[in-house]
Chain A
Amino acid sequence: MASLAFDQADRAVRALVTPEGVDLRVRLAAVSERGIALVIDLTIIMGSLLLLTLAAGSLLATFDLENVPLAQIIWMLGFFVLRNFYFTLFECSRRSATPGKRLMGLRVVARDGAALSADAVIARNAMRELELYIPLIVLFSRGEGIEAWILLAGIVWCGIFVLFPLFNRDRLRAGDLIAGTWVLKAPKQKMLPDLTTEKPAEAAFAFTTAHLDAYGVKELQVLEQVLRMSEPTAMEAVATQIRTKIGWTARAHEADKDFLSAYYAALRRRLEQRLLLGVRKKDKHDTI
Chain B
Amino acid sequence: MDMTLRSLRFRREREASWHELEGLLDRAERSAVSRLSDDELLAIPALYRAALSSLSVARSTSLDQALVEYLEALSARAYFFVYGSRTSFKERMQRFFAHDWPAAVKNIWRETLVAALITFAGAIAAYMLVMADPDWYDAFVSGEMAGGRDPSASAEYLKSTIYGDSDASEALGVFATSLFTNNAQVALFAFALGFAFCLPTSLLLAYNGCVLGAMFAVFASKNLGFEFAGWILIHGVTELLAIIIAGGAGLRIGWSIAFPGDLSRLAAAERSGREGAVIILGVVIMLFIAGLLEGFGRQLINSDTVRYTIATATAFIWAVYFYRGDRRGLARV
Contact = CB atoms under 8 A, between A and B. Distances in A.
Interface string A117-156: 1111111001101100010000000000000000000000
A18 interface: yes
Nearest to B193: A130
Nearest to A160: B196
A127 B195 contact: yes
A194 B65 CA distance: 10
A174 B85 contact: no
A18 B195 contact: no
B70 A224 contact: no
Interface stretch (B7-15, B124-132, B306-314): B7-15
Contacts of A122: 277-278, 280-281
B192 A126 contact: yes
Interface stretch (A32-40, A236-244, A271-279): A271-279
Given A118-B92, A186-B77, A221 B65 contact: yes
Q: Is the interface of B mostly helix, strand, loop or mixed?
A: helix
Interface in A208-263: 217, 220-221, 224-225, 228
A8 interface: no
A9 interface: no
B244 interface: no
Contacts of A73: 173-174, 177
A18 B79 contact: yes
A96 to B, nearest CB: 7
B81 to A, nearest CB: 7
A33 B298 CA distance: 48
Given A120-B274, A187-B73, A197-B8, A268 B63 contact: yes
Contacts of A18: 52, 75, 79, 83
Contact of A92 (B62, B76, B89): B89
A73 B185 CA distance: 16
B168 interface: no
B180 interface: yes
B6 A272 contact: yes
Contacts of B74: 189
A127 B199 CA distance: 17
Nearest to B77: A186
A18 B51 CA distance: 12
A76 B181 contact: yes
A12 interface: no
B60 A275 contact: yes
Interface string B264-283: 00100110011111101100
A94 B83 contact: no
B141 interface: no
B189 A129 contact: yes
Interface string A91-111: 010111000000000010100
A276 B62 CA distance: 10
B80 interface: yes
A96 B29 CA distance: 10
A41 interface: no
A272 B270 contact: no
A80 interface: yes
Interface in A143-195: 174, 177-180, 186-192, 194-195
Contact of B83 (A114, A186, A195, A197): A114
Interface in A192-211: 192, 194-197, 202-203
Q: Is the interface of A mostly helix, strand, loop or mixed?
A: helix
Interface residues of A, number: 73
Contacts of B69: 189
Of the candidates B3, B76, B174, the one having the most CB atoms from chain A within 10 angstroms of its own CB is: B76
A109 to B, nearest CB: 7
B185 A129 contact: yes
A129 B177 contact: no
Contacts of B28: 94
Given A73-B174, A202-B3, A84 B55 contact: no
Interface string A11-25: 000001011101011
A77 B270 CA distance: 30
22 contacts: A22-B75, A24-B72, A24-B76, A73-B173, A79-B181, A94-B28, A115-B86, A117-B274, A121-B277, A126-B280, A134-B189, A178-B195, A186-B76, A191-B19, A191-B67, A196-B4, A228-B66, A268-B7, A268-B63, A272-B62, A272-B63, A275-B61
| In the complex, the 4 A-B pairs of residues with the closest C-beta atoms, listed nearest first | A178-B273, A123-B277, A189-B73, A180-B270
Interface of A: 2, 16, 18-20, 22, 24-26, 67-69, 72-73, 76-77, 79-80, 84, 89, 92, 94-96, 107, 109, 113-123, 126-127, 129-130, 134, 174, 177-180, 186-192, 194-197, 202-203, 217, 220-221, 224-225, 228, 265, 268-269, 271-272, 275-276
Interface of B: 3-8, 11, 15, 18-19, 22, 26, 28-29, 31, 49, 52, 55-56, 59-67, 69-70, 72-77, 79-81, 83-87, 89, 92, 170-171, 173-174, 177-178, 180-181, 184-185, 188-189, 191-193, 195, 253, 266, 269-270, 273-278, 280-281, 284
Given A224-B66, A272-B7, 20 more contacts: A16-B79, A24-B75, A67-B170, A69-B173, A80-B185, A92-B89, A126-B276, A127-B192, A129-B192, A130-B193, A179-B273, A179-B274, A179-B277, A189-B70, A191-B15, A192-B67, A194-B67, A224-B65, A265-B5, A268-B5
